[in-house]
Amino acid sequence: MSVLASIRGPVDLRSLDAGELPRLAAEIRAHLVAAVSRNGGHLGPNLGVVELTIALHRVFDSPRDAIVFDVGHQSYVHKLLTGRQDFALLRRQGGLSGYPSRSESAHDIVENQHASTALSWADGLANGRRLSGVDGCVVAVVGDGALTGGMVWEALNNIAAQKDRPLVIVVNDNGRSYQPTVGGLADHLALCEDLGLQYIGPIDGHDEPALEVALGRAKRCPGPVVVHCITEKGRGHPEAERADERYHQVKPIDAAPPGPENWTNAFAEQLVTLGAQRPDIVAVTAAMRRSTGLEPFAERFPARCFDVGIAEQHAVTAAAGMATAGLHPVVAVYGTFLNRAFDQLLMDVALHRCGVTFALDRSGVTGEDGASHNGVWDLSVLQVVPGLRIAAPRDAVQLRAQLCEAVEVRDAPTLIRYPKGDAGSPIAAVGRVGAMDILRRPGNADVLIVSVGSLADLCCSVADRLTAGGYGVTVVDPRWVKPLDPALPGLAARHRLVVTVEDGVRAGGVGAMVGQALSDENVWVPVRSFGTPIEFLDHGSRDQVLERCGLTAEHIAELTFAALDRTGTPTFA
């Protein structure tokens, strides 16, 4: 029997002889490589924290001692040591999440999937436990990349002010988050002593006995203490150790090859073209230069690409400053992470009418990374931002065209949203109404389908089903969904029913705005909107999540049929 198979929880781990731990570490690494190669996921971060996680669970008594992982993409080893060794469906529907999950285990205190928040969680947990009389330590595990985020320093300021309260901060220092860590503060962790925090380290993060000694010493400290551990991302996997991103996140080895066009690559190529034409264009990202497609721009124009670390708020306000100084910044960020900088977009960029373009990669339903990474909030949340213009390209051709249009706007923010992965084949327009593209036009019709962004192909499939059922259908792609084209109400007035389809939250989304636009123009045509519910969507493939949300051609057509009758009066029974 393997050592790993004998571990059903931390109690079993603590009963092992020290001589068995190297074998356990090797078995964990082999398990991780096999599972992640099969399902995809975060490989490099977990290979780097094997010994550290073993030591944490041998020294601390989880869940009595609360262990909080910042981001959580290094929590696979933690899962293995807390009774979750079935990785057959890792990140797939019905299987384990790729992040900590309260529904999976009491050992997962925080479902922490956005960076730089663990110290704030730990501060709150420690205060709450002390006031409630609950025993046990609070341990926060943060990467050096997280130290580039402002919340970490806000939390440290408060933690240092309470010197009589025990709290252990374990810094996993591998010199990188997605890529090499940027910024000066991360290079000087002994600054923590100047804040009044005790400091232990640096410790070899792969020397398990040394880690146990350091963590045991930290556990006995009466006040807050920082344990500085030096680890190697991708440890034990030669290819990962050599790779630029140390296999931070990998795809399954049997994943389908990419299609003819990829959303991120299309953005990357067009931005380089625009950068060559316009020296005022600069690029800004928050520790995700390669993931958001800015690497080619950075290589071509190194002085014009700014990676600010895991600091989305700073990225957006700095972009406002650059715009005010005469540049046109393009801020590339995942859709889910722009939520963190809403105030800066509203009050620093929009209020000051700054010409900043936001490129929202991984917008809409992303799938495998689960609730925290689905970018479904932007179409609802950002509707309230005055002056903001939002583009939703239906294919890579439109992405390129609309990026060109966006950077021409100099007196207001613009935003382009697009999903993850393959952009599919281009969908040609058959006509135009105003600035909107018509994708299906049978003349005056029964149903007008307003297609939002990458769901154009789905909307055309719905139209085919309705047409086969005897209805006339127009499919329109507004291209820019905020503000809506003034020609839309007139087009809607020539139909019996308007159907909107978007891969964002229905409440306050494009469908709601279409209904409001029709009402404002006294166009009394019923609007049936389809989108995602106000829920945190569990992990699964993009298609599976869309299906759970009812965003399939069959479901939309079925409900649209139900909303029509042959007498000419829409019904909604």
Does 539 show up as a binding residue in the annotation? no
Q: How far is CA 373 from CA 367, 436, 532, in A?
A: 8, 30, 14
* Per-residue tokens: 20: 């068995």
First to last CA, the chain: 61
> What is the C-alpha separation between 193 and 207, in angstroms, rounded?
24
Instruction: Give yes or no for a contact between 399 and 121, defined as CB atoms under 8 angstroms apart.
Output: no
The Cα angle at residue 506 between residues 416 and 100, in degrees rounded to 5: 80
Tell whether 312 is in a known binding site. yes
Q: Is 144 labelled a binding residue?
A: yes
Residue 109 backbone phi and psi in degrees, to 5 = -75, -40
- Spatial contact of 116 and 152, defined as CB atoms under 8 Å apart: yes
Query: 174: annotated binding-site residue?
Result: yes
Question: Who contacts 420 (Cβ-Cβ below 8 Å, separation ≥6)?
Answer: 263, 264, 361, 362, 366, 367, 542
DSSP string, 288-345: -TTTTT-HHHHHH-GGGEEE--S-HHHHHHHHHHHHHTT-EEEEEEEHHHHGGGHHII
The answer to whether 164 is a known ligand-binding residue is: no
| Residue 405 assigned to a binding site | no
Number of CB atoms found within 10 A of residue 541's CB = 14
* Contact call for residues 570 and 496 (beta carbons, < 8 A): yes
Residue 287 in marked binding region: no
Query: Quick count: other Cβ atoms within 10 Å of Cβ 138?
Result: 26
Report the catalytic residues.
233, 312, 340
Neighbour count for residue 29 (Cβ, 10 Å): 18
Residues in binding site: 73, 144-146, 174, 237, 312
Residue positions forming the annotated binding site for thiamine diphosphate: 73, 145-146, 174, 237, 312
